[in-house]
Structure 1
Amino acid sequence: MWTPPRSLLATDTLAGIGVFTISIAFCIGAAALDLGSLARMQEGFFPLMTGGIGALLGIALVISGLLSTPDRVIRPALRPLLFIGAAFVVFSLLIDRAGLIAAIIACGTISALANPKTRLTEALLLSAGLALGIWLLFVQLLDMPITVIAGL
């Protein structure tokens, strides 16, 4: 049975492959959109550039992993993965139904609780400050038409 060399199983190598794969998916998705030009960028320009930069960083990580002394591959921490994923889902479900403030507070609290050392009061205070800052920036300063609190 074939076993891959340890350098292919290094954490940097595996992370680089993951970053490269996700970045190429961004580029493929952006190919269906209009790119525009540097002077008049369209909706596909930013995802394409982000995907291209991510792909280059992924290649750099793979090269770094292949050239470095191989380390032991550690099992990924599931709690942060699940909590951050849940925060994205909760934000996308709440932003239209409950408004910006509730979505940010819920998303920030769930994200902060990905660290088992974070207390609920800390997470809520952090999320409230984040919601206030985002409200000031996007609603007050940039005057963006965002529903702050649903029903108002």
Structure 2
Amino acid sequence: MKLTQDVVQGGLFLAIGMAALLMGLDYPLGTPGRMGPGFFPIMISALLALTGIGILLRARLGMSELIRLARSMPLFIVSGAIIAFGFLLDKLGLPLAVLLLCIGAATASVRFEWSWKAVAGAAVFSIVCGILFVTLLGLPIPLVGSWLPVLGAP
């Protein structure tokens, strides 16, 4: 079987559905009239796995488009920016980590150009994220990370 979009999508649906189904089997199923905590996850994951099987059958019987890896570098750049965000969040704080994430992910675009407007927009977005998530929602994420000295500290 050739590696087509349907094969990848069907395989992904089947794998996620089967993994969720196996996890759902740890919970009591119950009956349709008196559902247990595992009833809904098992039914949804079984439907997802069946959808994956259906897509794989369509890939086997029909003609779906082959996957082209012509531009795989943006995938690695954006993934790297997200991983760097995860590692730098505690070290730099939320606003600086978001700023680096925005700028890093933006470099994946073929239309990316350094400009003060883009950096200013990313800076404003990172400040808004800090205010929204830390101040207003109260998430336990540092605004200033451990790598940065706290302003006004002796």
TM-based fold match above 0.5: yes
Asked if the contact 1:112–1:123 (Cα under 8 Å) also holds between the matched residues in 2, the reply is no
Match of 1:107 in 2: 101
- Over residues 36-69 of structure 1, what are the superposed CA-to-partner deviations in whole Å (9 max), with x where a residue is unaligned? xxxxxxxxxxxx79x949x559726546645653
Structure 1 gap ranges (5+): 36-47
In the superposition, the TM-score normalised over structure 2's length comes to 0.61
Residues of 2 paired with 1:120 and 1:26: CA distance?
Answer: 43
Percent identity, aligned pairs only, is: 20
Instruction: Tell me which amino acid in the other structure corresponds to 1:131.
Output: S
1:81 is matched with which residue: 75, 78, 91? 75
Tell me if 1:137 matches 2:147.
no
2:64 is matched with which residue: 50, 56, 70? 70
In the superposition, the TM-score normalised over structure 1's length comes to 0.62
Is the alpha carbon distance of 1:57 and 1:93 closer, same or farther for their aligned partners in structure 2, counting shifts above 3 Å? farther
- Compare the two structures and name the one with the higher helix fraction: 1
Structure 2 gap ranges (5+): 28-40
How far did 1:127 drift? 2.6
Match of 1:149 in 2: 144
> Counterpart of 2:139 in 1: which secondary structure?
coil
Which consecutive aligned stretches of 4+ in structure 1 deviate over 6 angstroms post-superposition?
none
Bigger Cα Rg: 2
Asked if the contact 2:6–2:64 (Cα under 8 Å) also holds between the matched residues in 1, the reply is no
User: CA RMSD for the aligned pairs?
Assistant: 3.8
Asked if the contact 2:17–2:49 (Cα under 8 Å) also holds between the matched residues in 1, the reply is no
Residues of 1 paired with 2:92 and 2:98: CA distance?
Answer: 10
How far did 1:107 drift? 1.1
